[in-house]
Amino acid sequence: MILNRVHSDRNGIVMVTIGHPGGYYVYKVKDCAYPGVYYVLVRIGADTYKNYIYIGAIVGGFFKLTRMSKLRSSRPEVKVFARAFGYLCGKSSLPEGFNVHYRTRCKYCGKRLTTPKSIKLGYGPICRKRYIHSNERRITNG
């Protein structure tokens, strides 16, 4: 199931990019005390570890809003997750320009990646510099 793939990142992070510069949402899918239920949170703001708010739950393979949802169904953050979740479950297609990423860890150090560019390349900015520098050294030495 898709939740196994999402949770392979340990933090259950899903990033959805939406076709224009700076256009992306970061979601966290967390286990709940009830079997088969997962909480969905969306990042609001720049802090990659703290600024998440609850938007709904995944119950029985379906995403839905609950009484505790902080955003309404008309908000783009909610619509984008619902669309991305449907795509990941094989129930719908993504609109043109959308991409979904659910493995968001640096290949070099294993830290969480937080921007679409880093996810596309597989490295954060610091490790990207290290990786390129070490490869250049290997090529010139040998």
pLDDT tens, position by position, 111-121: 888 777 888 88
If you average pLDDT over every residue of the chain, what do you get?
A: 80
Q: What pLDDT digit, counting tens, does each position of 5-14 carry? A: 555 444 567 7
Choice between 128 and 20, residue whose per-residue pLDDT is larger: 128
- Look up the pTM and report it: 0.74
Quick one: which of 48, 56, 53, 50 has its CA closest to 105? 48
Q: How far apart are CA 128 and CA 131, in angstroms?
A: 5
Place of tokens 């900015």: 125
Q: How far apart are CA 117 and CA 132, in angstroms?
A: 16
pLDDT confidence of residue 2: 53
Q: How far apart are CA 113 and CA 56, in angstroms?
A: 23
